[in-house]
Amino acid sequence: MPDFRFDPISARWVAIASNRLARPMEFVPLKETLSSDIVCPFCKGRESETPTQLEVWDHQGQRVEAAGSDIDWSTRVVPNKFPSFPSDAPMDPFDTKVLSDFIQDFGPYDQSRRPGVQELIIPTPRHVSSFGDLEKSEAMISWAAIQTRFSVMKEKNGIEHAMLFMNCRSAAGASLSHAHLQLIGSPVLSQLMKDRLCRNQRYVEEHGKTLMQSVLEWEQQQRTRIVTETEDFCVVCPFASRVAYQMWVIPKHSFHDFASIDREMRDALALLTRKLLRRLDRSLDRPAYNLMLQAAPFGATDNDHWYVEIMPRLTLPAGLEWGTDIWINPVSPEDAAKRLRR
C-alpha cells in the first residue's frame, strides 16, 4: 500500500508507491542518445575550446599557474561559456552601490539583472561520464578545487548562495557527456532556500541541535535506510525520498560550513561520493543522476547542516509533481538502501 511521507528537510510530501513498479509500460524509459559529431571541449588537448581557465590542478594536487595543453592537468576550472544567469553587467558587478541599480520594478513583477557567477569544474582530462569513473586521486583533487572555488565565491560581494552540482548523462540535464561539475553563485535567494533557513533556525532554537542531527540520530537507531557509514559520514536513502534510490551523504561533524572542513574530511567525502556513484552505476546500469551540495546561503551557516544529495533520474516528474510538488516514488527507500548496500 502506498504511504505519504513528509521530508522535514525540504518540507515536501512524497508518496512512496512501490505498487507502481507493476504497471504495464508502453514507453521505453529515458534513453540516452549521443551525437557523434560533437568534439569534446573538456578533453586533454582541447583546452583552447573553453574560456581561459580560472584554475588548474596537477596530478599531485597542486595548483599550477601557467596552463595550456602542455600542462599535464588533473582538474581544470573554467567560466561557463554559456551562462544561465546575467553576467554582462556594464559596470563592476561586485560593487554594492551598483547592484541596487539593477533591481527594477516592472508592474506587479520584480526584476533583477544582478550578475551571478558560473564556473565549470572538469575533474579529469579523460573522456569519462560519471564521477564514479574517476581515479581516486582525480576525485580528491576535484573536491579540493570545489572547496577552493566555493570559498572564493563566499567572499564575492553580491553572491548570496552557491550551488555545486553535477548533471550526469542527458536525462539528468547534461549537454556534454564528459564528466563536469558546475558551481553557480546566485545573486538571489530562492523561496525554497529562505524557507529552509527559517525551518532550520526554528528547529535549533527549540531543540538545541540541527534538524539533520535529529534525522541522523533516528536513522542510526532504525538502521533500515542506511546505505553505508564511515567515521565522518552516514549515507542514507531519506525516509521521504522523492525519487528512487535518492541518497544523502550526511556529515557527522564539521557540518555547519562546508568551506571550512579539513583536508582529511574532504578526501573522505571525495572517496565516498566516488564509491557511491560506482555502486549506483553498477547496480542500476549507469543511470542518469544529479549530484548536489546542499549548503546554507553565505553568512547563514550557524543553524545549517550541509550534505551531499544524489538523485538518480529513473523516472520523470509528471502532472502531479509539477502541479502540487507532491512526488510519487515507486521504490521504497528501505528497499533502495537494501539494494545499494549489496
Neighbouring C-beta atoms of residue 309, cutoff 10 Å: 19
CA angle 40–41–46, rounded 5-degree value? 110
Closest distance of CB 178 from Zn ion, Å: 3
Q: Which is nearer to Zn ion, 34 or 192 (CB)?
A: 34
Q: Which is nearer to Zn ion, 42 or 73 (CB)?
A: 42
H helices of the chain, in order, are: 96-99, 136-154, 191-207, 211-222, 263-283, 319-324, 333-341
Q: Which is nearer to Zn ion, 178 or 242 (CB)?
A: 178
Closest distance of CB 163 from Zn ion, Å: 24
Q: Which is nearer to Zn ion, 178 or 313 (CB)?
A: 178
Beta partners for 110?
A: 105
Q: Which is nearer to Zn ion, 76 or 196 (CB)?
A: 76
Residues in contact with Zn ion by CB under 5 A are 40, 42-43, 127, 178
Cα separation, 163 vs 187, in Å, equals 11
Closest distance of CB 142 from Zn ion, Å: 15
Q: Which is nearer to Zn ion, 76 or 256 (CB)?
A: 76
Strand order in the sheet with 161-168: 63-64, 55-58, 73-79, 117-122, 181-186, 161-168, 289-294, 307-312, 247-251, 233-236, 226-229
Cα separation, 332 vs 19, in Å, equals 10
Q: 214 with 207: CB under 8 angstroms?
A: yes
Closest distance of CB 247 from Zn ion, Å: 26
Closest distance of CB 133 from Zn ion, Å: 12
Q: Which is nearer to Zn ion, 8 or 41 (CB)?
A: 41
Cα separation, 221 vs 219, in Å, equals 5
Residue sitting closest to Zn ion (CB) = 40
Closest distance of CB 50 from Zn ion, Å: 11
Q: Which amino acid is at 44?
A: K
Q: Which amino acid is at 270?
A: A
Phi-psi region of 299 (alpha: psi -120 to 50; beta: other; left: phi over 0): left
Closest distance of CB 331 from Zn ion, Å: 32
Closest distance of CB 166 from Zn ion, Å: 15
63-64/55-58 β-pairing? antiparallel
Q: Which is nearer to Zn ion, 175 or 260 (CB)?
A: 175
